[in-house]
Amino acid sequence: MSRAPSSQRLSASHFQRLFGRPPEAAAEAPGRVNLLGEHTDYNEGFVLPTTIPQLTRIELARSGDGHYRYYSANLDQLVTYRDGEEPPPGFARYVYGCIQMLRETGFQVEPCTCRINSDVPIGAGLSSSAALEVAALRGLRALFRLAIDDVAIAKIAQQAEIRYAGVHCGIMDQMAASLGDARHMLFLDTRTLERRLVPFPDGAEAIVLDSGVPRKLSDSAYNLRRRECEEAAQRLGVPALRDIQEAGDAVKALPPPLDRRARHVITEDRRVLEAVRGVSAPEFGELMNASHASLRDDFEVSVPALDVLVGILQAHPWVFGARLTGAGFGGACVALIAQGMGASVKPQVLAAYADLGYRGAVLV
Protein backbone atom coordinates (compact mmCIF):
# COMPACT_ATOMS: atom_id res chain seq x y z
CA MET A 1 0.00 0.00 0.00
CA SER A 2 1.42 3.39 -0.92
CA ARG A 3 1.56 6.12 1.66
CA ALA A 4 0.05 9.49 0.93
CA PRO A 5 2.58 12.35 0.85
CA SER A 6 2.90 13.96 4.27
CA SER A 7 1.08 17.17 3.20
CA GLN A 8 -1.92 15.05 2.10
CA ARG A 9 -1.96 13.12 5.41
CA LEU A 10 -1.75 16.38 7.30
CA SER A 11 -4.63 18.00 5.43
CA ALA A 12 -6.76 14.84 5.63
CA SER A 13 -6.42 14.89 9.41
CA HIS A 14 -7.16 18.62 9.38
CA PHE A 15 -10.31 17.85 7.41
CA GLN A 16 -11.22 15.26 10.07
CA ARG A 17 -10.69 17.80 12.86
CA LEU A 18 -12.73 20.42 11.01
CA PHE A 19 -15.69 18.29 10.02
CA GLY A 20 -15.53 15.23 12.28
CA ARG A 21 -15.15 12.80 9.38
CA PRO A 22 -12.49 11.93 6.80
CA PRO A 23 -12.69 13.29 3.23
CA GLU A 24 -14.40 11.00 0.72
CA ALA A 25 -12.90 12.59 -2.39
CA ALA A 26 -10.06 14.89 -3.39
CA ALA A 27 -9.12 16.78 -6.54
CA GLU A 28 -6.86 19.54 -7.77
CA ALA A 29 -6.48 21.94 -10.71
CA PRO A 30 -3.69 24.28 -11.83
CA GLY A 31 -3.48 27.99 -12.54
CA ARG A 32 -2.57 29.06 -16.06
CA VAL A 33 -0.52 31.61 -17.95
CA ASN A 34 -1.31 32.66 -21.50
CA LEU A 35 1.65 32.67 -23.92
CA LEU A 36 -0.16 34.28 -26.86
CA GLY A 37 -3.72 35.21 -27.81
CA GLU A 38 -4.71 38.01 -25.41
CA HIS A 39 -8.20 39.50 -25.49
CA THR A 40 -9.08 37.05 -28.25
CA ASP A 41 -11.17 34.53 -26.29
CA TYR A 42 -14.25 36.76 -26.04
CA ASN A 43 -13.84 37.52 -29.75
CA GLU A 44 -14.20 33.78 -30.45
CA GLY A 45 -10.55 33.62 -31.53
CA PHE A 46 -7.44 31.60 -30.69
CA VAL A 47 -5.44 31.32 -27.46
CA LEU A 48 -2.29 29.52 -26.35
CA PRO A 49 -2.14 29.08 -22.56
CA THR A 50 -0.13 26.62 -20.51
CA THR A 51 -0.67 25.50 -16.93
CA ILE A 52 1.63 26.57 -14.09
CA PRO A 53 2.98 24.37 -11.28
CA GLN A 54 0.83 26.07 -8.62
CA LEU A 55 -2.37 24.15 -7.78
CA THR A 56 -5.66 24.51 -5.96
CA ARG A 57 -6.56 21.40 -3.99
CA ILE A 58 -9.93 20.41 -2.58
CA GLU A 59 -11.07 17.60 -0.27
CA LEU A 60 -14.75 16.84 0.09
CA ALA A 61 -17.34 14.74 1.91
CA ARG A 62 -21.10 14.61 2.11
CA SER A 63 -22.20 16.69 5.08
CA GLY A 64 -25.21 14.50 5.90
CA ASP A 65 -27.00 17.28 7.83
CA GLY A 66 -28.27 19.62 5.10
CA HIS A 67 -25.48 22.16 5.63
CA TYR A 68 -22.76 23.23 3.22
CA ARG A 69 -19.45 24.00 4.93
CA TYR A 70 -16.47 25.31 3.00
CA TYR A 71 -13.12 25.95 4.64
CA SER A 72 -10.31 27.95 3.00
CA ALA A 73 -6.93 27.05 4.49
CA ASN A 74 -5.40 30.16 2.87
CA LEU A 75 -7.86 32.50 4.56
CA ASP A 76 -8.45 30.27 7.60
CA GLN A 77 -12.12 30.98 7.01
CA LEU A 78 -15.15 28.69 7.31
CA VAL A 79 -18.34 29.56 5.44
CA THR A 80 -21.60 27.73 6.24
CA TYR A 81 -25.01 27.91 4.55
CA ARG A 82 -28.09 25.78 3.83
CA ASP A 83 -30.18 25.20 0.71
CA GLY A 84 -32.10 28.36 -0.13
CA GLU A 85 -29.30 30.54 1.28
CA GLU A 86 -26.34 32.07 -0.53
CA PRO A 87 -22.80 32.33 0.79
CA PRO A 88 -21.22 35.82 0.86
CA PRO A 89 -18.98 36.95 -2.04
CA GLY A 90 -15.51 35.39 -1.80
CA PHE A 91 -14.05 31.90 -2.25
CA ALA A 92 -17.27 30.12 -1.14
CA ARG A 93 -19.26 31.79 -3.91
CA TYR A 94 -17.19 29.96 -6.55
CA VAL A 95 -17.96 26.54 -5.06
CA TYR A 96 -21.61 27.53 -4.61
CA GLY A 97 -21.72 28.68 -8.26
CA CYS A 98 -20.31 25.35 -9.45
CA ILE A 99 -22.93 23.40 -7.47
CA GLN A 100 -25.76 25.64 -8.74
CA MET A 101 -24.57 25.22 -12.33
CA LEU A 102 -24.29 21.43 -11.95
CA ARG A 103 -27.88 21.34 -10.73
CA GLU A 104 -29.08 23.56 -13.56
CA THR A 105 -27.37 21.14 -15.94
CA GLY A 106 -29.39 18.29 -14.40
CA PHE A 107 -26.97 16.70 -11.95
CA GLN A 108 -27.88 15.80 -8.38
CA VAL A 109 -25.55 17.29 -5.78
CA GLU A 110 -26.12 16.79 -2.05
CA PRO A 111 -24.97 19.18 0.68
CA CYS A 112 -21.26 18.74 1.26
CA THR A 113 -18.29 19.96 3.21
CA CYS A 114 -14.97 20.85 1.64
CA ARG A 115 -11.51 22.06 2.54
CA ILE A 116 -9.63 24.17 -0.02
CA ASN A 117 -5.95 24.92 -0.14
CA SER A 118 -4.22 26.80 -2.95
CA ASP A 119 -0.81 28.12 -3.88
CA VAL A 120 -2.03 29.81 -7.09
CA PRO A 121 -1.34 33.54 -6.61
CA ILE A 122 -4.59 35.50 -6.32
CA GLY A 123 -5.17 38.58 -8.48
CA ALA A 124 -2.00 38.19 -10.54
CA GLY A 125 -3.59 37.07 -13.82
CA LEU A 126 -2.86 33.38 -13.25
CA SER A 127 -6.52 32.34 -13.02
CA SER A 128 -6.85 31.37 -9.40
CA SER A 129 -10.63 31.49 -9.88
CA ALA A 130 -10.62 28.98 -12.76
CA ALA A 131 -8.31 26.72 -10.74
CA LEU A 132 -10.80 26.81 -7.85
CA GLU A 133 -13.81 26.19 -10.10
CA VAL A 134 -12.20 23.29 -11.97
CA ALA A 135 -10.83 21.74 -8.75
CA ALA A 136 -14.29 22.03 -7.15
CA LEU A 137 -16.04 20.50 -10.16
CA ARG A 138 -13.52 17.65 -10.36
CA GLY A 139 -14.01 17.03 -6.65
CA LEU A 140 -17.81 17.08 -6.97
CA ARG A 141 -17.56 14.74 -9.98
CA ALA A 142 -15.53 12.27 -7.87
CA LEU A 143 -17.73 12.61 -4.76
CA PHE A 144 -21.07 12.18 -6.52
CA ARG A 145 -19.81 10.03 -9.44
CA LEU A 146 -21.09 12.51 -12.00
CA ALA A 147 -20.86 11.51 -15.68
CA ILE A 148 -19.25 14.71 -16.87
CA ASP A 149 -16.19 15.15 -19.09
CA ASP A 150 -13.39 17.72 -18.93
CA VAL A 151 -14.86 20.00 -21.61
CA ALA A 152 -18.22 20.06 -19.80
CA ILE A 153 -16.34 20.90 -16.59
CA ALA A 154 -14.72 23.89 -18.32
CA LYS A 155 -18.08 25.09 -19.70
CA ILE A 156 -19.84 24.76 -16.33
CA ALA A 157 -16.91 26.50 -14.60
CA GLN A 158 -17.13 29.40 -17.06
CA GLN A 159 -20.88 29.73 -16.46
CA ALA A 160 -20.29 29.65 -12.69
CA GLU A 161 -17.80 32.51 -13.09
CA ILE A 162 -20.16 34.56 -15.27
CA ARG A 163 -23.36 33.93 -13.33
CA TYR A 164 -22.13 33.72 -9.72
CA ALA A 165 -18.85 35.68 -9.63
CA GLY A 166 -20.15 38.36 -12.00
CA VAL A 167 -17.13 38.24 -14.35
CA HIS A 168 -18.15 38.15 -18.00
CA CYS A 169 -15.09 36.10 -19.05
CA GLY A 170 -14.22 33.99 -22.09
CA ILE A 171 -13.56 30.26 -21.80
CA MET A 172 -9.75 30.27 -22.02
CA ASP A 173 -9.03 30.03 -18.29
CA GLN A 174 -11.39 27.19 -17.52
CA MET A 175 -10.33 25.18 -20.61
CA ALA A 176 -6.67 25.66 -19.68
CA ALA A 177 -7.24 24.55 -16.06
CA SER A 178 -9.34 21.56 -17.17
CA LEU A 179 -7.48 20.38 -20.28
CA GLY A 180 -4.02 21.96 -20.24
CA ASP A 181 -0.74 20.59 -18.97
CA ALA A 182 2.52 22.22 -17.91
CA ARG A 183 4.72 20.55 -20.57
CA HIS A 184 2.63 21.85 -23.48
CA MET A 185 0.70 24.88 -24.66
CA LEU A 186 -3.02 24.35 -25.24
CA PHE A 187 -3.88 25.66 -28.70
CA LEU A 188 -7.58 26.38 -28.40
CA ASP A 189 -10.15 27.66 -30.87
CA THR A 190 -12.52 29.37 -28.43
CA ARG A 191 -15.40 29.26 -30.93
CA THR A 192 -15.41 25.54 -31.73
CA LEU A 193 -13.41 24.41 -28.67
CA GLU A 194 -11.20 22.41 -31.05
CA ARG A 195 -7.87 22.08 -29.34
CA ARG A 196 -4.43 20.53 -29.55
CA LEU A 197 -1.55 20.29 -27.11
CA VAL A 198 1.56 21.73 -28.76
CA PRO A 199 5.13 21.47 -27.45
CA PHE A 200 7.12 24.51 -26.40
CA PRO A 201 9.65 25.65 -29.01
CA ASP A 202 12.87 23.61 -28.72
CA GLY A 203 15.19 24.82 -25.97
CA ALA A 204 12.67 27.24 -24.42
CA GLU A 205 10.57 27.55 -21.27
CA ALA A 206 8.23 30.16 -19.83
CA ILE A 207 8.72 32.33 -16.76
CA VAL A 208 6.20 34.69 -15.18
CA LEU A 209 7.05 37.84 -13.21
CA ASP A 210 4.64 40.03 -11.29
CA SER A 211 4.94 43.75 -12.04
CA GLY A 212 3.86 44.62 -8.49
CA VAL A 213 1.13 46.86 -9.90
CA PRO A 214 -2.33 45.70 -8.80
CA ARG A 215 -4.91 45.29 -11.57
CA LYS A 216 -7.20 47.96 -10.21
CA LEU A 217 -9.13 49.21 -13.21
CA SER A 218 -9.22 45.91 -14.98
CA ASP A 219 -12.90 44.99 -14.43
CA SER A 220 -14.43 48.15 -15.87
CA ALA A 221 -11.78 48.50 -18.60
CA TYR A 222 -12.17 44.81 -19.51
CA ASN A 223 -15.90 45.24 -19.98
CA LEU A 224 -15.33 48.40 -22.03
CA ARG A 225 -12.91 46.56 -24.34
CA ARG A 226 -15.49 43.79 -24.78
CA ARG A 227 -18.10 46.32 -25.80
CA GLU A 228 -15.71 48.03 -28.21
CA CYS A 229 -14.90 44.70 -29.86
CA GLU A 230 -18.60 43.82 -30.14
CA GLU A 231 -19.32 47.18 -31.72
CA ALA A 232 -16.42 46.81 -34.17
CA ALA A 233 -17.68 43.34 -35.18
CA GLN A 234 -21.21 44.66 -35.62
CA ARG A 235 -20.03 47.56 -37.81
CA LEU A 236 -17.98 45.11 -39.87
CA GLY A 237 -21.04 42.88 -40.27
CA VAL A 238 -19.55 39.74 -38.71
CA PRO A 239 -20.62 37.70 -35.65
CA ALA A 240 -17.22 38.24 -33.98
CA LEU A 241 -13.82 39.79 -34.80
CA ARG A 242 -12.47 36.27 -35.24
CA ASP A 243 -14.24 36.29 -38.61
CA ILE A 244 -11.96 39.02 -40.01
CA GLN A 245 -8.58 37.80 -41.28
CA GLU A 246 -7.02 41.04 -42.56
CA ALA A 247 -6.87 44.47 -40.95
CA GLY A 248 -7.74 45.93 -44.38
CA ASP A 249 -9.68 48.99 -45.58
CA ALA A 250 -12.92 48.15 -43.76
CA VAL A 251 -11.05 47.96 -40.46
CA LYS A 252 -9.13 51.17 -41.19
CA ALA A 253 -12.44 52.92 -41.87
CA LEU A 254 -13.79 52.15 -38.38
CA PRO A 255 -13.95 55.18 -36.08
CA PRO A 256 -11.15 55.34 -33.52
CA PRO A 257 -10.52 53.58 -31.19
CA LEU A 258 -12.54 50.74 -32.76
CA ASP A 259 -10.06 50.52 -35.67
CA ARG A 260 -7.16 49.92 -33.26
CA ARG A 261 -9.13 47.51 -31.07
CA ALA A 262 -10.09 45.42 -34.11
CA ARG A 263 -6.53 45.51 -35.47
CA HIS A 264 -5.19 44.10 -32.20
CA VAL A 265 -7.63 41.18 -32.18
CA ILE A 266 -7.10 40.38 -35.88
CA THR A 267 -3.29 40.50 -35.68
CA GLU A 268 -3.26 38.63 -32.34
CA ASP A 269 -5.27 35.75 -33.81
CA ARG A 270 -2.76 35.59 -36.67
CA ARG A 271 0.15 35.53 -34.24
CA VAL A 272 -1.34 32.50 -32.45
CA LEU A 273 -1.90 30.68 -35.74
CA GLU A 274 1.66 31.50 -36.80
CA ALA A 275 3.08 30.31 -33.45
CA VAL A 276 1.50 26.85 -33.68
CA ARG A 277 3.01 26.23 -37.10
CA GLY A 278 6.11 24.99 -35.25
CA VAL A 279 8.24 28.14 -35.14
CA SER A 280 11.66 28.37 -33.46
CA ALA A 281 12.09 29.92 -30.01
CA PRO A 282 13.41 33.25 -31.42
CA GLU A 283 10.48 33.41 -33.87
CA PHE A 284 8.02 32.65 -31.08
CA GLY A 285 9.68 35.38 -29.01
CA GLU A 286 9.21 37.90 -31.83
CA LEU A 287 5.50 37.07 -31.90
CA MET A 288 5.31 37.71 -28.13
CA ASN A 289 7.09 41.05 -28.52
CA ALA A 290 4.71 42.05 -31.31
CA SER A 291 1.79 40.99 -29.11
CA HIS A 292 2.96 43.30 -26.33
CA ALA A 293 3.32 46.24 -28.74
CA SER A 294 -0.18 45.59 -30.03
CA LEU A 295 -1.64 45.33 -26.50
CA ARG A 296 0.12 48.57 -25.57
CA ASP A 297 -0.57 50.66 -28.68
CA ASP A 298 -3.74 49.25 -30.26
CA PHE A 299 -5.61 47.67 -27.38
CA GLU A 300 -4.26 50.12 -24.79
CA VAL A 301 -4.29 47.75 -21.82
CA SER A 302 -0.68 48.19 -20.68
CA VAL A 303 0.62 50.50 -17.96
CA PRO A 304 4.12 52.08 -17.62
CA ALA A 305 5.36 49.48 -15.11
CA LEU A 306 4.43 46.60 -17.45
CA ASP A 307 6.19 48.32 -20.35
CA VAL A 308 9.32 48.79 -18.22
CA LEU A 309 9.36 45.16 -17.05
CA VAL A 310 8.70 43.84 -20.57
CA GLY A 311 11.46 46.12 -21.91
CA ILE A 312 14.01 44.76 -19.42
CA LEU A 313 12.99 41.18 -20.22
CA GLN A 314 13.17 41.75 -23.97
CA ALA A 315 16.69 43.22 -23.65
CA HIS A 316 18.02 40.22 -21.69
CA PRO A 317 20.28 37.93 -23.76
CA TRP A 318 18.57 34.71 -22.54
CA VAL A 319 15.06 35.99 -23.30
CA PHE A 320 13.46 35.19 -26.68
CA GLY A 321 10.42 37.41 -26.12
CA ALA A 322 8.16 38.90 -23.45
CA ARG A 323 4.79 40.57 -23.03
CA LEU A 324 2.13 41.41 -20.49
CA THR A 325 -0.20 38.49 -19.82
CA GLY A 326 -3.86 38.43 -18.81
CA ALA A 327 -6.23 41.35 -19.10
CA GLY A 328 -3.55 44.01 -18.42
CA PHE A 329 -3.74 47.29 -16.41
CA GLY A 330 -1.13 45.79 -14.06
CA GLY A 331 -0.48 42.19 -13.11
CA ALA A 332 2.07 39.88 -14.66
CA CYS A 333 4.45 39.51 -17.60
CA VAL A 334 5.31 36.23 -19.32
CA ALA A 335 8.61 35.60 -21.09
CA LEU A 336 9.97 32.78 -23.20
CA ILE A 337 13.55 32.15 -22.14
CA ALA A 338 16.38 29.72 -22.87
CA GLN A 339 15.66 26.44 -21.05
CA GLY A 340 17.30 26.15 -17.65
CA MET A 341 18.27 29.83 -17.43
CA GLY A 342 15.44 30.96 -15.13
CA ALA A 343 17.62 30.94 -12.00
CA SER A 344 19.83 33.67 -13.46
CA VAL A 345 17.30 35.57 -15.63
CA LYS A 346 14.68 36.15 -12.91
CA PRO A 347 16.89 37.83 -10.25
CA GLN A 348 18.78 39.86 -12.86
CA VAL A 349 15.59 41.21 -14.40
CA LEU A 350 14.00 41.96 -11.02
CA ALA A 351 17.17 43.75 -9.86
CA ALA A 352 17.15 45.97 -12.97
CA TYR A 353 13.42 46.60 -12.40
CA ALA A 354 14.11 47.54 -8.74
CA ASP A 355 16.86 49.95 -9.89
CA LEU A 356 14.13 51.85 -11.72
CA GLY A 357 12.05 52.09 -8.55
CA TYR A 358 9.66 49.16 -9.03
CA ARG A 359 9.14 46.09 -6.87
CA GLY A 360 8.41 42.93 -8.87
CA ALA A 361 8.24 39.28 -7.85
CA VAL A 362 8.74 35.81 -9.30
CA LEU A 363 5.47 34.01 -9.91
CA VAL A 364 6.67 31.05 -12.03
- Our CB check for ligand NG1 shows the closer of 321 and 330 to be 330
User: Is 268 among the residues that bind ligand NG1 (CB under 6 A)?
Assistant: no
CB of 301 to ligand NG1, least distance (A): 8
CB of 293 to ligand NG1, least distance (A): 16
Angle CA 77–135–4, to nearest 5: 85
x/- contact string, 293-332, with ligand NG1 (CB under 6 A)? Answer: ---------------------------------xx-----
Which one among 19, 23, 35, 42 touches ligand NG1, defined by CB under 6 A? 42
CA dist 178 and 193 (Å) reads: 13
Q: Which among 105-113, 125-133, 254-262, 306-314 is the span making contact with ligand NG1, rule CB under 6 A?
A: 125-133
Phi and psi based region of residue 278 (left: phi greater than 0; alpha: psi -120 to 50; beta: remaining): left
Q: Is the peptide bond before 257 cis (omega within 30 degrees of 0)?
A: yes
- Catalytic (active site) residue 173: yes
- What CA–CA distance (Å, rounded) separates 154 from 186? 14
Catalytic residue among 173, 210, 269, 298: 173
Measure CA 75 to chain center: 21
Judged by CB under 6 A, does residue 173 bind ligand NG1?
A: yes
217, 303 Cβ separation under 8 angstroms? no
- Nearest-angstrom CA–CA distance, 180 and 30: 9
- Cα–Cα distance between 310 and 288 in angstroms, integer? 10
Q: Which stretch binds ligand NG1 (CB under 6 A): 164-172, 177-185, 275-283, 343-351?
A: 164-172
Q: Does 154 bind ligand NG1 (CB under 6 A)?
A: no
Active site members: 173
Name the site residues for ligand NG1 (rule: CB under 6 A).
Answer: 38-39, 41-42, 125, 127, 129, 167, 169-170, 172-173, 326-327
